[in-house]
Structure 1
Amino acid sequence: MDDDSFRIGIVIVAAGRGERAGAPEDGPKQYRPIGGRPVIAHTLERFLTWHRSGPIVVVIHPDDEALYAAATVNLPQAARVIITFGGETRQRSVYEGLRALSGTDATHVMIHDAARPFVEHDLLDRVAEGFMAGHDGLLPAIPISDTLKRGGSDGLVHETVPRAGLYAAQTPQSFLLSEIRTAHEKAAALRREDFTDDASIAEWAGLPVHLVEGSVDNIKLTVKRDIDMADERLTASTLPDVRTGNGYDVHQLEPGDGVTLCGIFIPHDQKLSGHSDADVALHALTDALLATCGAGDIGDHFPPSDMQWKGAASKIFLEHAAKIVREHGGTIMNADVSLIAEAPKVGPHRQAMREKLSEILGISLDRCSVKATTNEKIGFVGRREGIAAIATATVVFRGD
């Protein structure tokens, strides 16, 4: 059989309630987050990105439409997935998925549990190679390595079960589509609902099922601890989304009674000229924060042409930028401001400035830095014509 003689459709079973995976209020396990995304999103992505993947059917519970939509809203190619509703049992849900897939050009089918998000493309390729070798029924499995014991109702070990030839079954269990659908139809007609997987239905129907090497990573998330471990695994392997933004601002000095820097008023024989209170430090830091999420600059949000901001405290601008960052899923980790001025002296006010930044941003004092330097009497700063500020903000964003 060559690549052009068959097309592999996918049925992902996601209609279960997952009673063993935690409290009911936590929701079905296939929609629980691991690595910042729902389990089903990880599973679907494995098949959507597999180069041999044909039409994909996801079988969901009728009550889970909103959950499914939310789980896949940011998933590329999710629009090509066919959605159908499952039944009261997994067996019935698979049957509904097979019926939906029968309306496509698929000749073969992989039936996979949504709660197995770590299925690898290598495993899928091995199944596809089995189809190409002429096998119509394929079961990924791994040999049993533990010693098996048979116990009795009395709580005692009755015998040791030889493990030679024993395997743990996995999914995707894969078949010629017409054959496995016919087997499911026969089982449904006879009201047989006692099959534990699709391979057992195939065996009952007399269809040969060949073993394919499974994967130890292709685990099924069954209980809450499984989900917690999957989350730890993905979180540990995911690079953190750390972003750094820079901002620069300068304002002219003119005769006056003082300047406001980092929200602190410092008496001086000059003042800063600007539409607002001209706090160059907070303006630069506002731009730095906005840069971490691509939200423009301070002029986009508070244009100088808008008279409502005339004389406004720049604290308003910084609070707004911090709010935007948090709405984008960011956590502000550090704020650093460098002031460039010949006068006034910043050193005596540095602690108050850091405390003000800590208050406005809602972060600890040790994450707020204020530094100052002169311009060695060079340029407009050296001539005391203006004050400049450079700011850097570090933000960590959570995954989608």
Structure 2
Amino acid sequence: MAVAALIVAAGRGLRAGAEAPKQYRRLGGQPVLCRALAPFLAEARIGPVLVVIGARDDARYRNAIAELGEGERGRLLPPTHGGETRQASVRAGLKALSEAGFTGAVLVHDAARALVSPELVHRALVATRKTQAAIPALAVTDTVKRLDADGRIVETPPRDRLVSVQTPQAFAFAPLLAAHEAAFAAGADGFTDDSAIMEWAGHEVATFAGDPMNLKLTHPEDFIAAEQRLGRSLVTRVGTGYDVHALADGDHVWIGGVSIPHTHGVTAHSDGDVGLHALTDALLGALADGDIGSHFPPSDPQWRGASSDRFLAFAAERVAARGGRIDHLDLTIICEAPKVGPHRDAIRARIAAIAGLRLDQVGVKATTSERLGFTGRGEGLAAQASASIRLPEPE
């Protein structure tokens, strides 16, 4: 499926405190717009990239993109002028893509989020293959209050059901354009992001892991914070994991998120996926954040029969929540049977999808124990894993 990127850069950015719109200010030696564009232009799976600019910003736009490489500039469609609101600007961009004959999926991103990472773009691309609408979300850590018109507190919503959302947001193109057109025809305005328009139009919106580093530049102090983040070094951490499950009656086993036919099943509280359990512990170990049992205790009935992709996704989100990056996951399966080799590519692809990684960031190997020990006697399966991540250096 074709994927386009729509970068919204038509705002005036008055709260950022400079004469020029914030998307043309410099951050870490580069225009904000160029930094926001970079991961989209570097991603081969993204086709057309369209920037929506202000009606008076043609010269600023030309000057900014002149700092991109020739190959990067060549991937950009001619810019489109936006409207008075973000909603109007996105609609203008969508209409321009439609008039160019585009169909498929679209990632909508605010140029003010200049620290967007390739990993977050990848997670958005994965989302386009799963649902018509998905947005990056972060858990809310502060207590949130709802006020009345006089500023008095009327409600304290439960924090565990609240998230803050970011861009890039991922959508099927045709439903998003139709939702924008319907909102325009109905005079419904004031939407601050595109997921709200999709909700208004009756579509379900999913979420995927956001990135705490994906700061939105709104106020002058945000530029200071962004400069500090750009200069903050990352430290490499490595974690390891190990898991084992005994074989039992059954006709399949789960390995690395893939169901493999077998003469036995496994004894387990969840689905017994030794591969994903070991990888989950490896990530949690690299974070120094306990182990799979501390977060998903087998004594808790809600995890009975649970799909283990939830555990690995949780660990990957914990890395993202700390502002970190997963560099590589490596998994070794130890068993006499079933044969893992025929399923290796499917396992790698599944792990990459769960953790929001590229395929080349996942290694899967299999070995036997030369008929020694419990795996050699065919009594069980084992897996060992390692994870290398990068986290912001502690202050």
User: Relative to 1, partners in 2 of residues 1:236 and 1:69: Cα closer, same or farther, differing over 3 Å?
Assistant: farther
Distance in 1, Cα, partners of 2:212 & 2:230:
16
Pick aligned residue for 1:233 from 224, 229, 235: 229
Secondary structure of the structure 1 residue equivalent to 2:203: coil
What's the CA shift string for 1:13-33, capped at 9, x where partnerless? 00000111104x2x1011111
| Corresponding position of 2:14 | 19
Pick aligned residue for 2:127 from 127, 130, 140: 130
The CA deviation at 1:58 is: 0.1
User: Relative to 1, partners in 2 of residues 1:225 and 1:55: Cα closer, same or farther, differing over 3 Å?
Assistant: same
Structure with greater Cα Rg: 1
TM-score, normalised to structure 2, is 0.56
The CA deviation at 1:152 is: 4.5
What's the CA shift string for 1:305-349, capped at 9, x where partnerless? xxxxxxxxxxxxxxxxxxxxxxxxxxxxxxxxxxxxxxxxxxxxx
The CA deviation at 1:78 is: 1.4
Pick aligned residue for 2:182 from 183, 186, 197: 186
Distance in 2, Cα, partners of 1:158 & 1:204:
25
The CA deviation at 1:237 is: 6.0
Secondary structure of the structure 2 residue equivalent to 1:174: strand
What's the CA shift string for 1:51-86, capped at 9, x where partnerless? 311100100001111111111102021132121100
Pick aligned residue for 1:70 from 48, 52, 63: 63
| Corresponding position of 1:169 | 165
Distance in 2, Cα, partners of 1:183 & 1:35:
37
Pick aligned residue for 1:118 from 109, 115, 119: 115
Distance in 2, Cα, partners of 1:159 & 1:167:
16
Matched, 1:207 2:166: no
Distance in 1, Cα, partners of 2:157 & 2:202:
26
| Corresponding position of 1:55 | 48
Q: Root-mean-square deviation (CA), in Å?
A: 1.8
Secondary structure of the structure 2 residue equivalent to 1:92: helix
Runs of 4+ in 1 over 3 A off after TM superposition: 151-159, 235-238
Distance in 1, Cα, partners of 2:229 & 2:57:
26
Secondary structure of the structure 2 residue equivalent to 1:171: coil
Distance in 1, Cα, partners of 2:121 & 2:153:
39
Secondary structure of the structure 1 residue equivalent to 2:137: strand
User: Relative to 1, partners in 2 of residues 1:153 and 1:200: Cα closer, same or farther, differing over 3 Å?
Assistant: closer
| Corresponding position of 1:219 | 215
Kept in 2: contact 1:123–1:215 (CA 8 A): yes
**Unaligned stretches of 5+ residues in structure 2:** 235-395
Q: Which amino acid aligns with 1:15?
A: A
Q: Which amino acid aligns with 1:112?
A: H
Distance in 1, Cα, partners of 2:139 & 2:148:
25
| Corresponding position of 2:138 | 142
Distance in 2, Cα, partners of 1:95 & 1:121:
25
User: Relative to 1, partners in 2 of residues 1:159 and 1:186: Cα closer, same or farther, differing over 3 Å?
Assistant: closer
Pick aligned residue for 1:7 from 2, 10, 15: 2
The CA deviation at 1:154 is: 5.0
Distance in 2, Cα, partners of 1:85 & 1:219:
25
Secondary structure of the structure 2 residue equivalent to 1:81: coil
User: Relative to 1, partners in 2 of residues 1:15 and 1:163: Cα closer, same or farther, differing over 3 Å?
Assistant: same
Number of aligned positions between the proteins: 230
Pick aligned residue for 2:105 from 108, 111, 117: 108
The CA deviation at 1:139 is: 1.0
What's the CA shift string for 1:358-377, capped at 9, x where partnerless? xxxxxxxxxxxxxxxxxxxx
What's the CA shift string for 1:166-185, capped at 9, x where partnerless? 11111111111011001101
Q: Which amino acid aligns with 1:63?
A: R
What's the CA shift string for 1:209-257, capped at 9, x where partnerless? 111111111111111110122123335669xxxxxxxxxxxxxxxxxxx
**Unaligned stretches of 5+ residues in structure 1:** 1-5, 239-400
| Corresponding position of 1:43 | 36
Kept in 1: contact 2:103–2:174 (CA 8 A): no
Distance in 2, Cα, partners of 1:229 & 1:132:
34
Kept in 2: contact 1:33–1:231 (CA 8 A): no
The CA deviation at 1:100 is: 1.3
Kept in 2: contact 1:34–1:228 (CA 8 A): no
Kept in 1: contact 2:133–2:205 (CA 8 A): yes
Secondary structure of the structure 2 residue equivalent to 1:12: strand
| Corresponding position of 1:28 | 21
Kept in 2: contact 1:84–1:97 (CA 8 A): yes
| Corresponding position of 1:196 | 192
Q: Which amino acid aligns with 1:121?
A: P
Distance in 2, Cα, partners of 1:156 & 1:185:
37
Distance in 1, Cα, partners of 2:64 & 2:26:
9
The CA deviation at 1:104 is: 4.1
Distance in 2, Cα, partners of 1:164 & 1:236:
30
Matched, 1:93 2:89: yes
What's the CA shift string for 1:170-214, capped at 9, x where partnerless? 111111101100110111111211212100100111112111111
User: Relative to 1, partners in 2 of residues 1:150 and 1:132: Cα closer, same or farther, differing over 3 Å?
Assistant: closer
Secondary structure of the structure 2 residue equivalent to 1:202: helix
Q: Which amino acid aligns with 2:75?
A: R
Distance in 1, Cα, partners of 2:207 & 2:50:
24
TM-score, normalised to structure 1, is 0.55
Kept in 2: contact 1:99–1:181 (CA 8 A): yes
Kept in 2: contact 1:55–1:104 (CA 8 A): no
